[in-house]
Amino acid sequence: MTDLSNLYQDIILDHYKTKHHSGLREPYQVEVTHVNPSCGDELVLRLNCSGDQIVDVSYEALGCSISQASTSILTDLVIGGSVSYFLELNEGFRVMLEGHGTIELDEDTYGDAIAFNGVAQFPARVKCAMLGWAALKDAVIREQAKGEGSD
Amino acid sequence: MLDVEKIRGDFPILDRVIGESKLAYLDSANTSQKPRQMVAAVEDHYLHHNANVSRAMHTLGAEATEAFEQARAKVARFIGAQPNEIIFTKNSSEALNLAAYTLGSRLGPDDEVVVSVAEHHSNIVPWQMACERTGATLRWFDVTDEGYFDMDKARDEALINERTKVISVTAMSNVLGIGAPLKQIVAWAPQTAVVIADGAQLVPHQPVNVADLGVDLLTFTGHKMLGPTGIGVLWGKSEVLQSLPPFLGGGEMIEIVKMTGSTYAQPPHRFEAGTPPIAQAVGLGAAVDYLSQIGMDAIADHDHQIIAYALERLREVPGLRILGPTSGDRGSVIAFTLADIHPHDVMQVLDSHGVAVRGGHHCARPLHERLGIQASVRMSAYLYTTKSEIDALIDGLLDTLRFFGASTILGASTPGVPS
- pLDDT of B414: 42
B343, B361, B408 ranked by CB distance to A17: nearest: B408
CB within 8 Å: B403 and A3: no
Instruction: Measure B8 CA to nearest chain A CA, in Å.
Output: 27
In a domain, A55, yes or no: yes
B273 and B229 inside one domain: yes
Give chain B positions within 8 Å (CB) of A38: 360
Here the ipTM equals 0.83
Asked if the model's pLDDT at residue A148 lies above 80, the reply is no
Selection from B97, B73, B75, B98 nearest residue B244 by Cα: B98
Query: Which of B292, B309, B340 finishes a domain?
Result: B292
Give chain B positions within 8 Å (CB) of A7: 348
| CATH number of domain containing A54 | 3.90.1010.10
Query: Which of B277, B292, B307 finishes a domain?
Result: B292
A4, A42, A66 ranked by CB distance to B349: nearest: A4
B160 and B183 inside one domain: yes
Domain that holds residue B24: 4-30+295-409
A122 touches chain B (CB under 8 A): yes
- pLDDT of B297: 97
B179 and B100 inside one domain: yes
pLDDT along chain B (419 residues), means of 10: 95 96 98 98 98 87 95 98 98 98 97 98 98 98 96 98 98 97 97 97 98 97 98 98 94 88 92 96 98 98 97 96 91 96 94 95 93 95 98 97 69 44
- pLDDT of B128: 98
- pLDDT of B56: 74
User: How many distinct structural domains can be found in chain A?
Assistant: 1
In a domain, B123, yes or no: yes
Domain that holds residue A12: 2-146
Query: pLDDT for A75-120, tens place per residue?
Result: 999 999 999 999 999 999 999 999 888 889 999 999 999 999 888 8
In a domain, B119, yes or no: yes
B60 and B195 inside one domain: yes
Q: Are B168 and B96 in contact (CB under 8 A)?
A: yes
Among residues B273, B298, B308, B363, the one annotated as catalytic is B363
- pLDDT of A4: 81
Has B363 been annotated as catalytic? yes
In a domain, B418, yes or no: no
In a domain, B50, yes or no: yes
Residue of A nearest to B365 (CA): A40
| CATH number of domain containing B405 | 3.90.1150.10
Q: Using N-to-C axis directions, what is the helix angle for B296-314 and B387-403, rounded to 10°?
A: 30
Best of A65, A119, A127 to disrupt the B interface by mutation (most B CBs within 10 Å)?
A65
Residue of A nearest to B407 (CA): A17
A3, A40, A64 ranked by CB distance to B361: nearest: A40
User: What own/partner pairs with CB < 8 Å and gap ≥ 24 does A53-58 have?
Assistant: A53/A80, A53/A81, A53/A82, A53/A83, A54/A78, A54/A79, A54/A80, A54/A81, A54/A82, A54/A83, A54/A86, A55/A79, A55/A80, A56/A21, A56/A25, A56/A28, A57/A21, A57/A136, A58/A21, A58/A22, A58/A23, A58/A24, A58/A25, A58/A28
CB within 8 Å: B365 and A41: no
Best of A64, A121, A130, A131 to disrupt the B interface by mutation (most B CBs within 10 Å)?
A64
Give chain A positions within 8 Å (CB) of B408: 17
pTM for this model (two decimals): 0.91
- pLDDT of B349: 95
CB within 8 Å: B360 and A40: yes
Give chain B positions within 8 Å (CB) of A60: none
B193 and B225 inside one domain: yes
- pLDDT of A149: 59
CB within 8 Å: B348 and A125: yes
B345, B365, B405 ranked by CB distance to A40: nearest: B365
CB within 8 Å: B345 and A66: yes
Backbone angles phi, psi at B117, to 5 degrees: -70, -15
